[in-house]
Amino acid sequence: MSSRQDVPRAAAQRLSLYLRQLQGYQRAGRSTVSSHELAGGLRLTDAQVRRDLAYFGQFGLPGVGYKVDRLIASLRRILGTDRGWSTAIVGVGNLGSALARYRGFEEQGFRVAALFDSDPRRVGQVAGGMAIRPMGELAETVRREAVRLGIITVPAEHAQEVADRLVAAGVRGILNFAPASVAVPASVALCSVDLALQLEQLSFLVLDAQRERRRGGTSPGVPPEVSGDGRETEAD
């Protein structure tokens, strides 16, 4: 569990999907689940589920499956959501203020501890029950509130500059929503979400399926799979 070998990045990403699925089973009152069931809803194979989990330890019982509660607890520990993480949102426009109010974050153990904006007209206003602070207070607030993750929701042209300031202030990870690529030191983790990019992938997939149909082929140009976070399922 602690002295792990190399974990494929893709496997690490699927851990979150397993957790979400398990939380659903938990709400449904299930106490046990098999790798086959867990895989089903996510369009994965049972072997992949077992393999992914095996990178981190032995969680199942042969002949029985996985205890839902226990596996949730284990995954939360692995992912780090068993502890509280304080975050700060920089850029309180449309998206920033929506994220400030988003309930899904605290459900998973994340707390939005502070909001920042460079626009003096926004500073002092309230979003999600919090006052918006000026950028000048970033470093001090990050320290005082023990903020470890920064969320960037500023226009693309300011993303790098904001990332630099967050890094200088000492955050350990950055979630970037600006449609720009951002560079950070290797010691800081970075995830990016480009919302328009998701729609682009969608239109690509739609067109691709169309082209496919036109060609009358059965084998698709792009396997109809994963995109975004990889959560995808089909029926019918």
Partner DNA sequence: TAGATTGTTAATCGATTAACAATC
> Count of residues for the chain?
236
The count of C-alpha atoms lying within 13 angstroms of the C-alpha of 168, restricted to the half-sphere facing its C-beta, is 12
Q: Give the other-Cβ count within 10 Å of 223's Cβ.
A: 7
Nearer to DNA, 70 or 111 (CB): 70
Query: Contact 220/207 with Cβ under 8 angstroms?
Result: no
| 9 sits near DNA (criterion: CB under 7 A) | yes
Query: Contact 32/64 with Cβ under 8 angstroms?
Result: yes
Q: Which of residues 170-189 bind a copy of itself (CB under 8 A)?
A: 172-176, 179-187, 189
Per CB under 7 A, the list member of 4, 36, 101, 143 interacting with DNA is 36
| 44 sits near a copy of itself (criterion: CB under 8 A) | no
Distance (Å, whole) CA 42 – CA 57:
21
Per CB under 8 A, the list member of 29, 62, 63, 104 interacting with a copy of itself is 104
| 130 sits near a copy of itself (criterion: CB under 8 A) | no
Rg of the chain's alpha carbons, rounded to an integer? 21
Distance (Å, whole) CA 19 – CA 33:
12
| 51 sits near DNA (criterion: CB under 7 A) | yes
Please give the torsion angle defined by the CA atoms of residues 134, 135, 140 and 141, in that order, rounded to the nearest 10 degrees.
70
Per CB under 7 A, the list member of 42, 44, 154, 182 interacting with DNA is 44
Distance (Å, whole) CA 46 – CA 52:
10
Stretch that binds a copy of itself, among 29-37, 63-71, 93-101, 138-146 (CB under 8 A): 93-101
Query: Contact 17/230 with Cβ under 8 angstroms?
Result: yes
User: Shortest distance, CB of residue 96 to a copy of itself, whole angstroms?
Assistant: 9
Site string (15-34) toward a copy of itself, x via CB under 8 A: xxx-xxx--x----------
| 201 sits near a copy of itself (criterion: CB under 8 A) | yes
| 218 sits near a copy of itself (criterion: CB under 8 A) | no
Per CB under 8 A, the list member of 89, 132, 138, 149 interacting with a copy of itself is 149
Query: Contact 26/69 with Cβ under 8 angstroms?
Result: yes
| 70 sits near DNA (criterion: CB under 7 A) | no
State the residues that interact with DNA by CB under 7 A.
Answer: 8-11, 34-36, 44-48, 50-51, 53-54, 58-66, 223
